[in-house]
């Protein structure tokens, strides 16, 4: 049931049943096969989504064609609120990297829900605010930290979010190419490859094609935090 999904969302978890029920009733389920776009940068922001199944990639492409990845996301997560609330265009691509299912609310439905359920609007505000602070931290990181540290932090974030225990180690349970890591951290696939190779020699990680396993979290954390 949709309401169960909403209850697992970080920012909606403790809303009253009645509010969640109203929200759930207004949602439509959308299925998106691997590789398809849930929405595309520049498209009119018609819907707000809660991702229910499958992983997806949030990316942005610069006018010169260089892509950056803003996030690799997995369920349950609220997404598209920023564009949908403004009635603007999506500022990002969201591409399914697995078969996905998402609850969708149309722009007008969303506005109506937020107007009639002030608690919901407050939660949405908290959610966007939380995302803002995270982005601000990444911005500072990019402005002030070396590649090595940014990469270490990206791996730790990913393992927190999508880690799967693997003996004493933890594998990031996402297909994760060197190019992806480069676009997540603002560097190039060459530098990522060289850095991972060095870490693999020192036993901090193991890695393979589109796969990274963290073996020595303390040492990686030390690189990440200084």
Partner DNA sequence: GGAGATCGTTGCGCTAGCGCAAATTCGGAC
Partner DNA sequence: GTCCGAATTTGCGCTAGCGCAACGATCTCC
Would you give the binding string for a second copy spanning residues 81-100, x where CB under 8 A is met?
Answer: xxx-xx-x--xx--------
Choose which of 108, 160, 194, 221 interacts with DNA (CB under 7 A): 194
Q: Is position 193 an interface residue for DNA (rule: CB under 7 A)? A: yes
C-alpha distances (whole Å) from 61 to each of 9, 68, 118, 145, 154 are 28, 6, 35, 23, 20
Q: Which residues of 19-38 are buried (b: 16+ CB within 10 A; e: fewer)?
A: bbebbbebbeeeebeeeeeb
d(CA 41, CA 32): 17
Check residue 187 for interaction with DNA (CB under 7 A).
Answer: yes
Q: Give the one entry of a second copy, DNA, none that residue 119 binds, where binding means its C-beta sits below a cut-off of 5 to 8 angstroms depending on kind.
A: a second copy
- List the one residue out of 112, 135, 114 whose CA is nearest residue 124: 114
Picked from DNA, a second copy, none, the partner binding residue 63 (CB below 5 to 8 A depending on kind) is: a second copy
**Residue 33 touching DNA (CB under 7 A):** no
Q: Give the per-residue contact string, 32-61, with a second copy (x = CB under 8 A; - = no).
A: ----------------------------x-
Closest CB 75 distance from a second copy, rounded Å:
22
| 121 or 217: CB nearest a second copy | 121
Among a second copy, DNA, none, the one that 138 touches (CB under a kind-dependent 5 to 8 A) is a second copy
**What's the first-to-final CA gap in the chain, in angstroms?**
45
Q: How far apart are CA 50 and CA 56, in angstroms?
A: 12
Q: Using the rule CB under 8 A, is 186 a contact of a second copy?
A: yes
18, containing H or E segment = helix 17-25
104 binds a second copy (CB under 8 A): no
Instruction: Verify binding: residue 164, DNA, rule CB under 7 A.
Output: no
Enumerate residues 148-167 that contact a second copy by CB under 8 A.
none
Type and span of the H or E element at 92? none
Rank residues 75 and 91 by Cβ distance to a second copy and give the closer one: 91
Exactly one of 139, 160, 198, 202 binds a second copy (CB under 8 A); that residue is 139
| CA atoms of 46 and 56, how far apart (whole Å) | 19
Half-sphere exposure of 207 (CA within 13 A, CB side): 24
Smallest CA-to-CA distance from 32 within 97, 107, 91, 82 is with: 97
User: Rule CB under 7 A: is residue 207 a binding residue for DNA?
Assistant: yes
Per CB under 7 A, residues contacting DNA are 146-148, 177-179, 186-194, 196-197, 200, 207-210
């Amino acid at each position: 049931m949709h309401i169960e999904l909403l209850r697992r969302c970080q920012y909606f978890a403790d809303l009253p049943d009645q509010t969640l029920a109203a929200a759930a009733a207004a949602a439509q389920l959308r299925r998106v096969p691997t590789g398809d776009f849930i929405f595309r940068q520049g498209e009119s922001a018609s819907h707000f989504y809660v991702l229910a199944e499958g992983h997806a990639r949030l990316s942005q492409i610069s006018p010169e064609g260089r892509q950056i990845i803003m996030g690799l996301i997995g369920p349950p997560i609220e997404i598209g609120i920023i564009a949908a609330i403004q009635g603007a265009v999506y500022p990002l691509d969201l591409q399914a990297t697995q078969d996905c299912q998402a609850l969708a609310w149309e722009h007008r439905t969303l506005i109506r829900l937020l107007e009639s359920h002030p608690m919901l609007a407050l939660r949405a505000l908290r959610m966007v605010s939380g995302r803002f602070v995270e982005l601000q931290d990444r911005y500072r990181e990019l402005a002030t930290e070396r590649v090595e540290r940014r990469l270490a932090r990206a791996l730790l974030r990913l393992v927190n979010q999508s880690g799967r225990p693997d003996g004493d180690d933890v594998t990031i349970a996402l297909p994760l190419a060197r190019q992806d890591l480069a676009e997540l951290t603002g560097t190039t696939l060459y530098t990522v490859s060289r850095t991972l190779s060095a870490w693999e020699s020192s036993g901090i990680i193991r890695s393979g094609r589109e796969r990274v396993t963290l073996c020595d979290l303390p040492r990686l954390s030390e690189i990440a935090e200084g």
